[in-house]
Structure 1
Amino acid sequence: MKSLLLLLIVCFSFLVFIPRQTQGIQFLVSCGSNSTSYADSRKWVGDDLSSNNNFTLSDLGIAAFNSTSVEDTGYTGFGPLYKSARFFSTSTSYNFTVDPGNYCVRLHFYPFQFGNYNSNDSAFDVSANDMKLITKFNISDEISWKAEKTNSNITSVVKEYYINIDLNGLQIKFVPNLNSFAFINAIEVLPTPDNLFNTNITKVGSNGLTTITDRAMETMYRLNIGGPKLKSTSDQFLYRNWDSDENFMFSVNAATMVHNTSEISYVTLNYSSVAPLLVYETARVMGNTDVVEKRFNVSWRFFVDPNFDYLIRLHFCELIYDKPNQRFFKIYINNKTAAENYDVYERAGGMNKAYFEDYFDILPQQTDTLWLQLGPDSLMSGPGTDALLNGLEIFKLSKNGNLAHVLDWTSLNGNIHPHGSAKKRLLIEEICFAIACVLALILISGGYCWYIRGKKKSKMAEDAPPGWHPLALHEAMKSTSNARPSNQVVKKYVSTPSINNRTGRKFTLSEIKAATKNFDELAVIGTGGFGKVYRGEIDGGSNIVAVKRADPLCGQGLKEFETEIEMLSKLRHRHLVSLIGYCEEKGEMILVYEFMANGTLRSHLYGSPPPADVLTYKQRVEVCVGAARGLHYLHTGSEVGIIHRDVKTTNILLDEEFVAKMSDFGLSRAGPTLDQTHVSTAVKGSFGYLDPEYFRRQQLTQKSDVYSFGVVLFEVLCGRPVIDPSLPKDQINLAEWALRWQRQRSIEKIVDPRLKGDYSLESLKKFAEIAEKCLMDEGKNRPSMGEVLWQLEYVLQLHDAYIRERESFRSTGELPFGDVPHSLSHIREDE
């Protein structure tokens, strides 16, 4: 009896908590058919039988039948539906009798020829009640666009929408464009659970919420992350298809697939209609969690419609860790932080618990790409600093009663319809091909003339190594096609005057060889991506210089040397290394700089062999102030500013007085103009110093230099390399390790022990605060180099005040102001 009672209670509880479906029947319509059929394990009713099925058709149009074989590569199981369609040459609507509530509407399109009608030539609009769903729709263009953007073979299109209906009826209306027609193969109208979408969702980039009440949605993407494609029959609630995510990953090798066959359950039964459990059984995690650099994310890229709002739904289920605080990661959407310190186990309340998170974001007018990126939150401690994701859905939200968008690349002009006939498109392709042929002939003729002309000049490069051209020849070739500003000089060779506008002396190769004793290996003082740097003596030994000789086998070359000459010819500052001259003779590319007697900053922090004299705290701060002044001048000394792009301790050189000077401008770029926010460019920089935002977005700003300088500040403070694989896992990356201590306000525990407390706590803490601000994830939250410079000068003032107070205290035993300041409270007895 007790067992029976318990069974009744369990059954009652299930009935109470099962998600409530909107009242009403579902409609599965096979258009253009006069019979029932079975597809996708469901029964579909022909629209010729509509009098018995609670829907009507305002105009019968033309019932079309497909006599060819159906290739349903997109959604296996719908083949029988694509054997028929209904064509309309006038506005026509399907009218469904439904109760008010939430509904999922799917429209199926499969192109085929019927008589004089070819669905590839169609162009039409579709609306649902007052909601515009599709405009100027052409099935051929749609398939081509989807195949190109998803890198997959597609033969059909299924449009899926979620609509709230507040009237007793749903009208799906097809309106052919001028001189065209509309068609449809199948229609689904399914009631959906009331709780399928939350009313309020998290807005990306802020902690606020936004409401999406009564906004219609179009499904853009639905992916089973880390798992295979799931057929609609796997989703018993709404018969949704889940695609594989491989074609959308920026780098498939960045993540590995995991699978858990353990019993998975929903966090609450209310989630049971959100996604099938099969979605939560697979996931992707970061490919190699033991890599040295922990700032590379798992990324997915999606092409979407610009100028719309989007709901991004992420599905999670922890499959590996059986307790909280084991896996932390960050979520980025459109290069903005959506969530930090994300712990799937903690949010779900256990392992193998399925749930989802919704995020809201706005795409501006010119943006047609949506990025999702997951990366480690290495500032949190835990054995798993990698990311995990099980499923993903992206929904476009209606805007002013509209979900429609015209594919930009198909719009020809305002007078010709963007979805003209296949013959028109073929004619356009033929015209383009003819133009291309003419251009090719012109280019070939021009190339031949250039070849004849070039042979006359071949002697000037005969001494150059294979594949290696003198810088002057490189410039001369560039000058034929690129106009340059008046302050940049185009170098000519032999037949033109020498370079007069560039600052610096033009050395002969014999002078360089004499200065370096024929490039004696004993004179080498450094190496880099460009080649070797030699100590040299010029002007009879009265002047010592540094000679940088390009090596064609190294990573840098013509472009970097050209950039360096251009930059240093225009820039002069006490905290920038001065260019004395250059040599470009017999294939050599050599730059001559002022000699920096004390070498690189790095060599004085942890060089090998160890430096004889350890830099004091004050010297380190002064060096940072000098480097900051140099960078500030770069950023502000010209109209658009210069971005160094390779700020690191090996590029900060010290003269005989330990004055810091920035060097190596081979990767430098002109900054954005007044009407730009960034410079789009390939990612370049040095391991450990690279701005993560720059890496994610490939958009360079002056704040990228600020980030790298923040790493330098911690490097100076801690006296250790930015990347040290010999250390424990959580200490390998200096920036991450130092940030953890700084955010705990305990930075003094990891300061270089050789400093022996020769600093004030106030000065130290202010120094670390500056570094922390420089390393903010988003560039907009970082200070400018001018602000960094001002703050570092204040750090120096705090230290000088501390030294004066300390010396006064030691000599007299009395303080200038009567009380022991906090800055002196840690002076040790043995000092």
Structure 2
Amino acid sequence: MSKLRKKFLELLLCVLIIFTCVVVYGEAQSKSFLVDCGSNTSTKADGRIWVGDSSPNNSLTLSSVGFDAIASTTSIKSSVLSEIYKSARVFETTLNYTFDGIAQGSCFVRLHFSPFAIENHNVNESSFSVFANGLRLMRNINIQGEIAHKNLILQSSGHNSTASSLVKEFLLPTGLEKLVLSFIPEEGSFGFVNAIEIVPVLDKIFKESVAKVGGSEVELGLKGRGIETMYRLNVGGPKLGPSQDLKLYRTWETDSSYMVIENAGVEVKNSSNITYASANDSPVAPLLVYETARTMSNTEVLEKRFNISWKFEVDPNFDYLVRLHFCELVVDKQNQRIFRIYINNQTAAGNFDIYAHAGGKNKGIYQDYFDPVSSKNDILWIQLGPDTSAGASGTDALLSGLEIFKLSKDGNLAHFIKFDPNGHSVSDSKMRIIWISVGAGIATIILFTFLVTLVVCLCKIRRNKSDDSKSNPPGWRPLFLHVNNSTANAKATGGSLRLNTLAASTMGRKFTLAEIRAATKNFDDGLAIGIGGFGKVYRGELEDGTLIAIKRATPHSQQGLAEFETEIVMLSRLRHRHLVSLIGFCDEHNEMILVYEYMANGTLRSHLFGSNLPPLSWKQRLEACIGSARGLHYLHTGSERGIIHRDVKTTNILLDENFVAKMSDFGLSKAGPSMDHTHVSTAVKGSFGYLDPEYFRRQQLTEKSDVYSFGVVLFEAVCARAVINPTLPKDQINLAEWALSWQKQRSLESIIDPNLKGNYSPESLEKYGEIAEKCLADEGKNRPMMGEVLWHLEYVLQLHEAWLRKQNGENSFSSSQALEEAPESSSLQACSNQDSSEMEKSQTGSTLHNME
């Protein structure tokens, strides 16, 4: 019996030892540090005990003391943290706080700043940097300026903000069980800190792989990166303090201050039975965040194009992690609330259904999105809006919470920008007076120049109108007025021979009106092959049997005249095998007629749908796309500034008797931006369905606008349907959106032209879909150049030809071999050489029919 009791006691002792070890280990692993800087006593604030940094039992080491500063009672505003804001540690040399026994993994580090009057020191002139284990957290920061700047931002949105403190929160990897915070004042200045808070994060709250906005998933590499919390909002709900987020003691601000239009969203609340969709999500956000939300104000409008929008100022040239929290509080089944998520004008998610993602009602979930912000952008937009594919009852949107995190880059989390005590950028403040002075001087010069120019122009217009009324019908301006001013003067003085010589050297042969009438049987309507705002296009035949296309402008109509003149200017200096060529002109008897080579097989569109013509094979479609891509590549690169077509579509791609594709209709074309500009600012023109949405929004034209339109052409060529068809279901009306959604699912073969079934290489279609998808990227900077598109299309054609050879029993040919033999630089160089050669011929006055 005694032996049994002895063994029992030994077992009990072992259990107690193990239990004690677990408890001690757990406490060590979850130990928080709450430091009241500039104090030697303990202080209670927000329900927690904060230990003075000069207290004997504070578990930290100070490299230098600096000195303590105590605020007057009247200077501190009442808040849950006001007690720890009554003191501060002030330093004029480097100050290190060393914390031992930090939990393995990561921890939240919060630095609290609340400036107050310090004897012999002006807090408006304070400037210092902060490092954590070598990672730069802040650089030469002025706390008073940062607070004032934040108040300015909130006041600009109509909210009266009088914040007097600043909390900077960082999530840091702490694998060394030691954390050293270094505060380094700028030379000749000083710094201060009111409190330091270190909270271990025992649960994993970030995933290593997240979805990139507008792209595939990316690896974040968080083990070696620091994170700064830029914003944390309880959307549609009240502010939540640290005591309401008991696991990690985070603060959740209200979202209304950051809304672009506050009444675009209404608050909803439901506190009954809210749970997490997954038990692992509990540390991500407290349940209080999921009990409130904001939904769209009015979902019954006819045009479902409005969004709920939040706007945030961020540091440029950093990567950001956007975390959105959702909890369906109202609807109780799928497909009742479907919406899109946009981040910085890019689609982050479409057809988003909270109920479906969470697996039910009242279940909290979150979604993370990775978004790199360029060096030229300091604004991050979050928008929720209707999905056009959803029905009327499913176009609402809902958001419960929002967090924005900045990820460190090359060991740095700091963005250097100083704000003065009024919250304005220091550089802006210094430059403001200079710019006002310079601006006033420039404005005076511009006004004087404008007045002089106006007087001269009015006189010239009056004289020109007088001359025109004597010699020309109303509304018509003859060709020689626009070809060359000196030519016009020559003709006005009887020098028509000079006009003929100049025009022949730039525009080919000059036809007589009698020759044109004979070629078109006196403009027989039976020979009309097209019509536009400028007039009709006729098929004609010269005496030698050459077939031509004749574009005749309507003399008494101004419609299309500017576009017609643009086409004259463009075609007079463009020569390329894949551009429809200008043969000559006629300007007799106030006619304005251009003569082109005849394209026997008409438009590419007519061979895709809407006619009884035989369908094109997959190879023919690829060759047509490649040919038009070559033409566009030449336009973009064949001259110093390049030319932007601005109206790329299948009706402007013509096919000759050998089905060689050529670009036509340059009436809307524009010269590209000069070397010191990135775009051409111009009114939006183009064809609906092909129009670049970024160009439409910003009215900034670039070569990438042509690339977007060409992407639509690529989908049109493979799907063989109109780009806009209102008779189809809502999600199919717009070809670009519909085809892109299928392509992103890698299921493009489901919607291709039935005539292609079984007659194409699956691998070639896959690569074709990928380049078309890239062309339709939301932002122009993410689209390829036309030369890249051309390379990929040639590679697609090689894949298909290899497949054809294999089908015919010839030697197999792998995609890797195709890639090795793909045209790469040699093809583009050849194309470039051809372009250069043809440009030289153009400049010497050679016409295309002579060149070929």
Of 767, 772, 788, 2:769 maps to 772
Pair 345,48 (structure 1): closer, same or farther in 2 beyond 3 Å: closer
Deviations 1:211-258 (A, max 9, x none): 3226432112224456676566654444434345677679999x8668
Residues in 2 aligned to 1:47 and 1:405: alpha-carbon distance in whole angstroms: 31
Residues in 2 aligned to 1:422 and 1:654: alpha-carbon distance in whole angstroms: 58
Matched, 1:282 2:285: no
Question: 2:829 maps to what in 1?
Answer: none
The one-letter code matched in structure 2 to 1:635 is H
Residues in 2 aligned to 1:451 and 1:106: alpha-carbon distance in whole angstroms: 62
Question: 1:161 maps to what in 2?
Answer: 170
Question: 1:433 maps to what in 2?
Answer: 436
Query: Which range is displaced more, 281-290 or 103-112?
Result: 281-290
Of 135, 138, 144, 2:142 maps to 138
Residues in 2 aligned to 1:246 and 1:506: alpha-carbon distance in whole angstroms: 68
Matched, 1:60 2:61: no
The one-letter code matched in structure 2 to 1:651 is N
Deviations 1:650-677 (A, max 9, x none): 333578998764333355466799999x
Residues in 2 aligned to 1:727 and 1:313: alpha-carbon distance in whole angstroms: 36
2:109 touches 2:197 (CA, 8 Å); kept in 1?
yes
Question: 2:127 maps to what in 1?
Answer: 123
Matched, 1:615 2:613: yes
Residues in 1 aligned to 2:747 and 2:803: alpha-carbon distance in whole angstroms: 18
Pair 78,734 (structure 1): closer, same or farther in 2 beyond 3 Å: same
SS at match of 1:273: coil
Pair 769,365 (structure 1): closer, same or farther in 2 beyond 3 Å: closer
Pair 67,589 (structure 1): closer, same or farther in 2 beyond 3 Å: farther
SS at match of 1:762: coil
Of 261, 265, 271, 2:281 maps to 271
Pair 389,189 (structure 1): closer, same or farther in 2 beyond 3 Å: same
Residues in 2 aligned to 1:589 and 1:275: alpha-carbon distance in whole angstroms: 74
Question: 1:221 maps to what in 2?
Answer: 231
Residues in 1 aligned to 2:665 and 2:709: alpha-carbon distance in whole angstroms: 15
Q: How does 1:456-535 map to 2 (within 5 A)?
A: 456-459=459-462, 500=502, 503-504=506-507, 531-535=533-537
Question: 2:110 maps to what in 1?
Answer: 106
Of 768, 786, 789, 1:784 maps to 789
1:545 touches 1:593 (CA, 8 Å); kept in 2?
yes
SS at match of 1:772: helix
Measured after TM superposition, the shift of residue 471 of structure 1 is 11
SS at match of 1:776: helix
Deviations 1:318-371 (A, max 9, x none): 556656788888878789997798765555444432233445566676775667
Pair 616,58 (structure 1): closer, same or farther in 2 beyond 3 Å: same
CA RMSD of aligned residues (A): 6.6
Pair 428,788 (structure 1): closer, same or farther in 2 beyond 3 Å: closer
SS at match of 1:263: coil
The one-letter code matched in structure 2 to 1:437 is A
Question: 1:9 maps to what in 2?
Answer: none
The one-letter code matched in structure 2 to 1:632 is R
SS at match of 2:323: strand
1:623 touches 1:660 (CA, 8 Å); kept in 2?
no
Deviations 1:753-786 (A, max 9, x none): xxxx6x7731597996676344324545997235
2:389 touches 2:730 (CA, 8 Å); kept in 1?
no
Q: How does 1:180-219 map to 2 (within 5 A)?
A: 180-184=189-193, 186-198=194-206, 200-202=208-210, 204=212, 207=217, 209-213=219-223, 215-219=225-229
Question: 2:824 maps to what in 1?
Answer: none
Task: Work out the number of aligned pairs and report it.
Answer: 735
1:564 touches 1:664 (CA, 8 Å); kept in 2?
yes
SS at match of 1:406: coil
The one-letter code matched in structure 2 to 1:403 is L
2:339 touches 2:353 (CA, 8 Å); kept in 1?
yes
The one-letter code matched in structure 2 to 1:391 is G
Pair 696,447 (structure 1): closer, same or farther in 2 beyond 3 Å: closer
Residues in 2 aligned to 1:774 and 1:388: alpha-carbon distance in whole angstroms: 34
1:525 touches 1:533 (CA, 8 Å); kept in 2?
no
Q: How does 1:222-371 map to 2 (within 5 A)?
A: 222-224=232-234, 234-243=244-253, 259=268, 261=270, 263-280=273-290, 281-282=292-293, 303-306=313-316, 308-318=318-328, 345=355, 348-358=358-368
2:92 touches 2:190 (CA, 8 Å); kept in 1?
yes
Matched, 1:394 2:404: yes
Residues in 2 aligned to 1:471 and 1:67: alpha-carbon distance in whole angstroms: 80
Query: Which range is displaced more, 211-220 or 141-150?
Result: 141-150
The one-letter code matched in structure 1 to 2:629 is L
1:623 touches 1:659 (CA, 8 Å); kept in 2?
no
Greater helix proportion: 2
Pair 146,454 (structure 1): closer, same or farther in 2 beyond 3 Å: farther
Residues in 2 aligned to 1:522 and 1:399: alpha-carbon distance in whole angstroms: 68
Deviations 1:566-618 (A, max 9, x none): 53232234553445789999xx99884648798765577666xxx5xx11114
Residues in 2 aligned to 1:308 and 1:350: alpha-carbon distance in whole angstroms: 36
SS at match of 1:142: helix
Pair 358,667 (structure 1): closer, same or farther in 2 beyond 3 Å: same
Pair 583,728 (structure 1): closer, same or farther in 2 beyond 3 Å: same
Pair 303,696 (structure 1): closer, same or farther in 2 beyond 3 Å: farther
Residues in 1 aligned to 2:382 and 2:555: alpha-carbon distance in whole angstroms: 41
Measured after TM superposition, the shift of residue 161 of structure 1 is 1.7
Question: 1:732 maps to what in 2?
Answer: 733
1:471 touches 1:589 (CA, 8 Å); kept in 2?
no
1:629 touches 1:789 (CA, 8 Å); kept in 2?
no
Deviations 1:3-60 (A, max 9, x none): xxxxxxxxxxxx99xx99953355264869999686xx55786969956877778222
Deviations 1:36-89 (A, max 9, x none): 686xx557869699568777782225434486796xxxxx94695798564836
Deviations 1:135-168 (A, max 9, x none): 1112355356656777546654431122355678
Measured after TM superposition, the shift of residue 179 of structure 1 is 2.5
SS at match of 1:88: strand
2:237 touches 2:289 (CA, 8 Å); kept in 1?
yes
Measured after TM superposition, the shift of residue 635 of structure 1 is 0.5
Of 89, 92, 100, 1:90 maps to 92
The one-letter code matched in structure 2 to 1:761 is G
Pair 266,730 (structure 1): closer, same or farther in 2 beyond 3 Å: same
The one-letter code matched in structure 1 to 2:210 is T
SS at match of 1:723: coil
Question: 2:817 maps to what in 1?
Answer: none
Residues in 2 aligned to 1:471 and 1:553: alpha-carbon distance in whole angstroms: 9
Deviations 1:715-737 (A, max 9, x none): 45655422222222343233555
Pair 330,276 (structure 1): closer, same or farther in 2 beyond 3 Å: same
TM-score, structure 1 as length reference: 0.65
1:105 touches 1:160 (CA, 8 Å); kept in 2?
yes
Residues in 2 aligned to 1:251 and 1:520: alpha-carbon distance in whole angstroms: 60
- Over the matched positions of the two proteins, sequence identity in percent amounts to 40
Residues in 2 aligned to 1:258 and 1:59: alpha-carbon distance in whole angstroms: 48
Measured after TM superposition, the shift of residue 269 of structure 1 is 4.1
2:548 touches 2:595 (CA, 8 Å); kept in 1?
no
Measured after TM superposition, the shift of residue 534 of structure 1 is 3.8
Measured after TM superposition, the shift of residue 459 of structure 1 is 2.5
TM-score, structure 2 as length reference: 0.64
